[in-house]
A and B are shown apart, each in its own frame.
Chain A
Amino acid sequence: DAGITQSPRYKITETGRQVTLMCHQTWSHSYMFWYRQDLGHGLRLIYYSAAADITDKGEVPDGYVVSRSKTENFPLTLESATRSQTSVYFCASSESAGLQETQYFGPGTRLLVL
């Protein structure tokens, strides 16, 4: 039971480079989310998706792009990485969006932009 996985777990890149963070879930959950975690800010929503090919912006979407061609995958791309995008990124999924729906989080990707 793999659940939700993220890759890579650690990434170092340089300013201006494109970076893609991968997220894969084995539950066939409809809803998927990308968050970034920074000290003092908690978890901030970047993008979310209700199904394949249905995505929308969250609280802090600037500089990020997502796609969802398959239900199980939800990659996050930093088009031109900046130092302010150094963070820990978490992917999450939930079975539906009803009241009291639990979000299940992946192990995170630590990204350092030099």
Chain B
Amino acid sequence: QQQVKQSPQSLIVQKGGISIINCAYENTAFDYFPWYQQFPGKGPALLIAIRPDVSEKKEGRFTISFNKSAKQFSLHIMDSQPGDSATYFCAASKPRDSWGKFQFGAGTQVVVTP
């Protein structure tokens, strides 16, 4: 049973368009929500992260929107570029989890066409 549900499974967007990936969670104890980016043949790498005390965080073309009451958060990729083609994973962790474990979503494969 996945504690973090991610959608869509795949996404095709034209260059310059906006990519939107959504995640939902049930456990209100989650207190940290990172997004990881994975290129083919590589390991995932941290892209951007947010805590629930803010509703939005922006880093360059990447923005996380967080809705605590709905227990949802999303990643927006503005002005999508072919180099953004990758698999994106949302994740969540609990503050009292002394082991630093993450619960990952199933991943979204994003393809940006030229």
Contacts and interface: CB of A to CB of B under 8 A. Distances in A.
A108 B106 contact: no
Interface class of chain B by DSSP = loop
Nearest to A38: B106
Contacts of A28: none
A62 to B, nearest CB: 16
Interface residues of B, number: 27
B95 interface: yes
Contacts of B46: 102-103
Given A100-B32, A105-B43, A105-B44, A31 B89 contact: no
Contact of B99 (A56, A106, A108): A56
Interface of B: 2, 6, 9, 31-32, 34, 36, 41-46, 49, 51, 89, 95, 97-102, 104-107
Interface of A: 4, 31, 33, 35, 40-45, 48, 50, 56, 58, 90, 92, 94, 96-108
